[in-house]
């Protein structure tokens, strides 16, 4: 007894042979038929080749994705390395801003509060890096705060944007000195108080650190003077626009007066 599947296989083979023979006869029956057969054959070959190539490409995607993932990992490592180099280079440049009698330590701001009346900063340098309490925190654009507490590798600083801080500031190169405080509202606003009326100034004059404080070197540019109002008929209170916008602080310099303790002994 013949098996059904063997009979089907024989029928399919006979059908294919008959189709091939028919195409051969059609191709040899005339030029037009030969062109049709050649065109159909080329289209069939192209379809088969294209499908085969797509299948190869599909199975090659896993290998390609694996290679791309490896390249992306290497590129990401390079980005991290370049960022670290740029950060260290930026910190190194902060060492250039050193005044006579002051030691400096470059630092990065890890955390900065801005939405309170008693704001603060946390720096990534501590006493093992040379940071000391009662040090100033500055940038090339002005005063940022005062170091209040230090651990081995971090420092806590009271921000200038704090209602408890005032610094000694001077109008122009040789103008009057007074107390500069945060205006309590804006990210770059301050008030210069207790300027005697006899000292003349004009809006746009630069405000500097006076040098009368033990915490900050003199002549650090802080901002520009704006409108003024007379207080108690004897002094001016002047609005100041700070150069340093506290929304964009990242790198700072911690400055310490090397004679701080010695001078403090005289004061006591």
CATH number of the domain encompassing residue 180: 2.40.10.340
CA distance 243 to 73: 40
26 and 47 belong to one structural domain: yes
Burial class (CB within 10 angstroms; exposed 0-12, middle 13-18, buried 19+) of 106: buried
**Mean pLDDT score, 117-128:** 93
Q: What is the pLDDT of residue 14?
A: 62
CA distance 119 to 112: 8
Q: Which residue has the higher pLDDT, 28 or 9?
A: 9
Residues in the chain: 268
Range of the domain at 220: 97-267
Q: What is the pLDDT of residue 66?
A: 61
DSSP, res 165 = -
CA distance 29 to 23: 10
Inform me whether the pLDDT recorded for 97 exceeds 80.
Answer: no
What backbone phi and psi angles, to 5 degrees, belong to 194?
A: 65, 40
Inform me whether the pLDDT recorded for 208 exceeds 50.
Answer: yes
The domain boundary, picked from 46, 65, 92, lies at: 92
- The rounded mean pLDDT for the chain is 78
CA distance 160 to 179: 12
In this structure, of 28-37, 181-190, 230-239, the range with the lowest mean pLDDT score is 28-37
137 and 155 belong to one structural domain: yes
Q: Which residue has the higher pLDDT, 237 or 95?
A: 237
Q: Where are the alpha helices (DSSP H) in the chain?
A: 4-27, 31-93, 260-267
End-to-end CA distance of the chain: give it in Å, rounded: 123
Tokens 């294209």, residue? 50
8 Å CB contact between 145 and 121: yes
**Mean pLDDT score, 95-100:** 55
DSSP, res 160 = E
pLDDT category of residue 133 using cuts at 50, 70 and 90: very high
84 and 117 belong to one structural domain: no
CA distance 171 to 50: 80
Q: What is the pLDDT of residue 233?
A: 85
Comparing CA positions, the residue from 140, 200, 212 lying closest to residue 169 is: 212
Inform me whether the pLDDT recorded for 246 exceeds 60.
Answer: yes
Inform me whether the pLDDT recorded for 23 exceeds 60.
Answer: no
86 and 186 belong to one structural domain: no
The domain boundary, picked from 92, 117, 143, lies at: 92
Tokens 């050649």, residue? 38
Give the pairing of strands 155-162 and 142-150: antiparallel
- Percentage of the chain lying above the pLDDT 90 cut: 38
CA distance 11 to 9: 5
Element containing residue 208 per DSSP (H, E): strand 206-209
Q: What is the pLDDT of residue 79?
A: 59
Question: Nearest 10 degrees: CA dihedral of 64, 70, 75, 78?
Answer: -160
CA distance 119 to 141: 19
84 and 198 belong to one structural domain: no
pTM for this prediction: 0.65
Inform me whether the pLDDT recorded for 212 exceeds 80.
Answer: yes
Provide the token pair at 224.
Answer: 């520009």
pLDDT category of residue 154 using cuts at 50, 70 and 90: very high
The domain boundary, picked from 57, 92, 127, lies at: 92
Inform me whether the pLDDT recorded for 28 exceeds 80.
Answer: no
pLDDT category of residue 243 using cuts at 50, 70 and 90: very high
Q: What is the pLDDT of residue 96?
A: 44
Q: What is the pLDDT of residue 86?
A: 64
Q: What is the pLDDT of residue 93?
A: 56
Cα torsion angle, 255, 261, 267, 268, sign: positive
103 and 81 belong to one structural domain: no
Inform me whether the pLDDT recorded for 174 exceeds 90.
Answer: no
202 and 163 belong to one structural domain: yes
Q: Give strand pairing partners of 195.
A: 236
> What domain count does the chain have?
2
113 and 187 belong to one structural domain: yes
CA distance 254 to 125: 9
């Amino acid at each position: 007894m013949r098996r059904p599947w063997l009979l089907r296989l024989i029928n399919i083979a006979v059908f294919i042979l008959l189709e091939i023979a028919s195409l051969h006869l059609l191709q040899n029956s005339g030029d037009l038929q030969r062109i049709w057969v050649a065109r159909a054959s080329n289209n069939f070959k192209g379809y088969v080749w294209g499908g085969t190539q797509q299948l190869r490409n599909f199975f090659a995607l896993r290998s390609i994705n694996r290679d791309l993932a490896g390249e992306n990992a290497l590129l990401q490592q390079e980005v991290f390395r370049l960022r670290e180099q740029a950060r260290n280079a930026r910190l190194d440049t902060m060492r250039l801003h050193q005044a006579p009698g002051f030691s400096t330590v470059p630092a990065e701001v890890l955390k900065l509060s801005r939405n309170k009346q008693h704001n603060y900063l946390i720096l990534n340098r501590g006493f093992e890096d040379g940071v000391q309490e009662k040090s100033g925190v500055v940038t090339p654009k002005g005063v940022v705060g005062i170091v209040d507490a230090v651990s081995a590798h971090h420092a806590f600083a009271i921000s200038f944007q704090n209602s408890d801080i005032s610094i000694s500031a001077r109008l122009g190169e040789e103008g009057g000195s007074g107390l500069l405080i945060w205006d309590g509202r804006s990210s770059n606003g301050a008030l210069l108080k207790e300027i005697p009326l006899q000292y003349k100034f004009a809006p746009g004059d630069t405000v500097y650190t006076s040098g009368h404080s033990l915490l900050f070197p003199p002549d650090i540019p802080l901002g520009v003077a704006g409108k003024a109002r007379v207080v108690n008929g004897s002094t001016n209170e002047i609005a100041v626009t700070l150069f340093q916008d506290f929304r964009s602080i990242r790198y700072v310099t911690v400055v310490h007066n090397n004679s701080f303790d010695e001078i403090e002994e005289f004061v006591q």
